[in-house]
Structure 1
Amino acid sequence: MSDSKDNQLEKYAEKVRRAKIVRKIVLISVAIIFFIFISALAFGYIYIKSALGPMDDESIEMVAVEIPIGSSSTQIGRILEDEGVIKNGLFFRYYVRYKNETGFQAGNYELSKAMTLDEIIDELKEGRMMQDADLVFTVPEGLWLVNVARIIAQNTDHEEETIIETLSDEEYLNKLIENYDVLTEDILTEGIRHPLEGYLFPARYDFLEEDVSIEVIIESMIERTDKVVTTYMGYYPDHPYSIHETLTLASIIEREAQKEEDRYKISGVLYNRLDRNMRLQVDPTVAYAIGEHLYMTSIAQTRVDSPYNTYMYAGIPIGPVANPGEASIKAAFEPEEIDYLYFYARYGGDVLYSKTYEEHNRIHQQYRHEWAEAAQSEESGEDE
């Protein structure tokens, strides 16, 4: 009886000892985690305070800084860092996005290393233009990347082939992926024809000098796409598709819709088909797969084996089939809630919607002659 009681006491003492050890370990772990957390907060605070503050608050030196026309916030940050007036160009980019700062002016500036980041931003928004833009060109919505490269070549001294090579250079692409949130590893997926297809924002571009590098032009375009896409991603954090997939849908919408209201309806049809695991079966993907703009898509063409061909493969294609503008990007994020599963774009821009294949087929048979006649007119040299 006495031995049993002693054993119980020993077991109880052992439990108490183990409990003390566990509590000690937990307390130490909590203390370490708390220390790391406080250290991280302190480091972050110190870093941000340092990045926002002047490079040298006692400096009286003025630094000449030139901001070219068409410079993105990334390029401006890089220039300011290279000139030694800010600590980190990447921090500048994210800070101006956080504060939603826009309206930076090209021109020549005299900046001091004693200026804070906010003071520099204010100065850049009151820019002094030294001259008109020497290089101006416009990229329309819905073009293929090769056509965008042709426009750049026609307006600069860069060869079209060299532009395409730069747009496909893997080392350069990886650098861009590091610098822009809109770009992900998806653009490097095997089978993609042009990695930056869909990411060259259609707009007017102005540059202070004629001999602008290919990289500056490309990054100006990506910067605009990045700003538009990340804005809508912020509005729709639970968006069901990745950035790459959404831009792919936007490119289809851009190629299919001519009127504003149709963008949202076509987007709704695409979402409805995806939700029902139906193939999208949209003609612009066939044209891109073939590499030829088509008036009409034949049955044989819909059987071309390509990851872009939505008649052959279900789901969203491997990548964008054009470069969409903001209206189509917005529509890809905001599909209209409709019951339609089919749409038919008539020659001239009108789009007709239907809920059943039978209804869609009747519409197709009724109006397909319009496209046939347009194709014949082009072949005979007449205006569309």
Structure 2
Amino acid sequence: MLKNVKSGHILVGCFMVLIAFVAVTGLWAVLITRQGPLTNEKMVHIPQGYGVSQIAQKLTAEQVVSSSFLFKLSSKMMFADKNLQAGMYSFDAGIPMRDVVKKMARGHTAQFKVTIPEGLRSQEVLTILKNQEHLTSVEDLPQFTESDLLLPETYMYTYGENASALLERMKSSMVKALDEAWESRQPDLPVANKLELLVLASIIEKETAVDSERGEVAGVFVNRLKKGMKLQSDPTVIYGLTDYDGDITRKHLRTMHPHNTYVIKGLPPTPIAHPGKASLMAAAQPNETENLFFVADMTGGHVFAKTNAEHEKNVEAYLKKYRELVLGEK
């Protein structure tokens, strides 16, 4: 009889422990899935070498989590206490503690974005990179020129990434894009190598920002190259000027420098900017056209012409619009 009573007490005790465990586990599950204390999105940096206790204190101080103890317990219960990773994290407002632990265990650190627009010169690209506050060693970035392969694009990077590593990614992207354009080029294209294709693409990039025009602009330049005509591209003139203030003059057009396609025949020796993928493909696959000329139309696009006579009329129409819209003449 006594033995049965003891057995009953043991069973009751085990049952009570089980109930307590379920209750505690249930409470823990509620606590770690409910909305956290963070009121606004916040960036928090966890230094290298921090253990779970230091991380818990840091997150509590930053009001990402409500309890240092609960964070440590949760990390243990989720088998993540040995896997929490250092880095810069972006935490959303109200993020539950469970998601904080998951994010840090998976190393989902914040990603930062830098956009390099098409058509920039190297110094402009360098300035953009040096202004990225989350990159490191920006002061060690080497000087580079338009001949260096850099693809204008939007790049993602992590906190503390070395600026030179990002620069290498930009170079690799351009190598790939240039290779693809070169492999897809038209067979009768009047360019001898990848560098010349890059030079042509850079001129196209500076001539138009209208995607639908790139192929036609490329077609005009290819036609002129085939006929032995000077390209007469204003951006090539501007590239070599030291006194350019926004207005190109007849004197500028006559200025002798290696990139001025009003005075030299063929392509300049080096690119005049960093072209994007669209201009690379336009250079490789220009439109089949009879046009040899184009002029701006005051709306951001261009008017194309087959003959010089047509072109002169288009130029006069452009000048008339310019005088009316810019100078206010009637």
TM-score by length of 2: 0.60
Partner of 1:200: 150
AA partner of residue 206 (structure 1): M
AA partner of residue 360 (structure 1): H
Residues in 1 aligned to 2:106 and 2:154: alpha-carbon distance in whole angstroms: 18
AA partner of residue 167 (structure 1): Q
Aligned partner of 1:344 among 291, 295, 301: 295
8 Å Cα contact 2:146-2:271 kept in structure 1? no
Residues in 2 aligned to 1:364 and 1:375: alpha-carbon distance in whole angstroms: 16
Report the Cα offset of residue 233 of structure 1: 2.1
2:203 maps to 1:266: no
Decide whether aligned partners of structure 1 residues 209 and 218 sit closer, same or farther in structure 2, where only a CA change above 3 A counts: same
More helix by share: 1
Partner of 2:239: 288
Which residues in structure 2 correspond to 1:172-321 (within 5 Å)? Answer: 194=145, 196=147, 199-213=149-163, 215-236=164-185, 238=187, 239-241=189-191, 242-291=193-242, 295-321=246-272
Residues in 2 aligned to 1:361 and 1:302: alpha-carbon distance in whole angstroms: 17
AA partner of residue 229 (structure 1): L
Partner of 1:178: none
Residues in 2 aligned to 1:224 and 1:375: alpha-carbon distance in whole angstroms: 40
Partner of 2:119: 142
8 Å Cα contact 1:131-1:208 kept in structure 2? no
Question: Which is greater in Rg?
Answer: 2
Residues in 2 aligned to 1:221 and 1:262: alpha-carbon distance in whole angstroms: 26
Q: C-alpha deviations, 1:48-94, integer Å up to 9, x for none?
A: xxxxxxxxxxxxxxxxxxxxxxxxxxxxxxxxxxxxxxxxxxxxxxx
Report the Cα offset of residue 129 of structure 1: 6.0
Report the Cα offset of residue 261 of structure 1: 2.1
Partner of 1:173: none
Q: Count matched residues.
A: 222
Aligned partner of 2:109 among 116, 128, 132: 132
8 Å Cα contact 2:204-2:214 kept in structure 1? yes
8 Å Cα contact 1:150-1:160 kept in structure 2? no
AA partner of residue 219 (structure 1): E
Q: Secondary structure at the match of 1:353?
A: strand
Report the Cα offset of residue 342 of structure 1: 0.4
Residues in 2 aligned to 1:292 and 1:129: alpha-carbon distance in whole angstroms: 54
Residues in 1 aligned to 2:283 and 2:204: alpha-carbon distance in whole angstroms: 8
Residues in 2 aligned to 1:297 and 1:350: alpha-carbon distance in whole angstroms: 18
Residues in 2 aligned to 1:321 and 1:293: alpha-carbon distance in whole angstroms: 15
Decide whether aligned partners of structure 1 residues 160 and 211 sit closer, same or farther in structure 2, where only a CA change above 3 A counts: closer
Residues in 2 aligned to 1:314 and 1:251: alpha-carbon distance in whole angstroms: 17
Q: Secondary structure at the match of 1:143?
A: coil
Decide whether aligned partners of structure 1 residues 246 and 346 sit closer, same or farther in structure 2, where only a CA change above 3 A counts: same
8 Å Cα contact 1:167-1:195 kept in structure 2? no
- State, as a whole percentage, how many aligned pairs show the same letter: 30
2:143 maps to 1:167: yes
RMSD: 2.8
Structure 1 residue ranges without an equivalent (≥5)? 1-107, 109-127, 169-193, 378-384
Residues in 2 aligned to 1:297 and 1:316: alpha-carbon distance in whole angstroms: 20
8 Å Cα contact 1:296-1:372 kept in structure 2? no
Report the Cα offset of residue 133 of structure 1: 3.8
Structure 2 residue ranges without an equivalent (≥5)? 1-84, 86-104
Residues in 2 aligned to 1:287 and 1:252: alpha-carbon distance in whole angstroms: 11
Report the Cα offset of residue 289 of structure 1: 1.1
TM-score by length of 1: 0.52
